[in-house]
Amino acid sequence: MLVAIGAGIAVFTGIGAGIAIGLATAKAVDAIARQPEAAGQISKTLIIGSALAEATAIYGFVIALLIIFILK
């Protein structure tokens, strides 16, 4: 029972990553709308930030799988 709760908590990192990527995309679109000539630099920074946020979600998923299959 506690293993399932721990795995569920570990998967919550995906929710945080989704919110973070959504906010970052909104801010990037706003920045590009205000300063179109900086679109290349803004897009590059957005992609790097999104990749880091998504990596956090993947780490949480891996931890959840380890909890389920190793501590079972």
**Closest C-alpha among 13, 11, 19 to residue 56:** 13
Q: How far is C-alpha 64 from the chain's CA centre?
A: 16
Measure the CA–CA gap between 18 and 56, rounded to whole angstroms. Answer: 10
The CATH number for 27's domain is: 1.20.20.10
Taking only the tens place, the pLDDT of each residue in 36-50 is: 999 999 999 999 999
**Closest C-alpha among 17, 71, 2 to residue 49:** 17
Split into its structural domains, the chain has a count of 1
Mean pLDDT of 50-58: 91
Domain that holds residue 31: 2-70
pTM of the model: 0.77
For the cut 80, the answer to whether the pLDDT of residue 72 exceeds it is no
For the cut 80, the answer to whether the pLDDT of residue 12 exceeds it is yes
Mean pLDDT of 20-38: 95
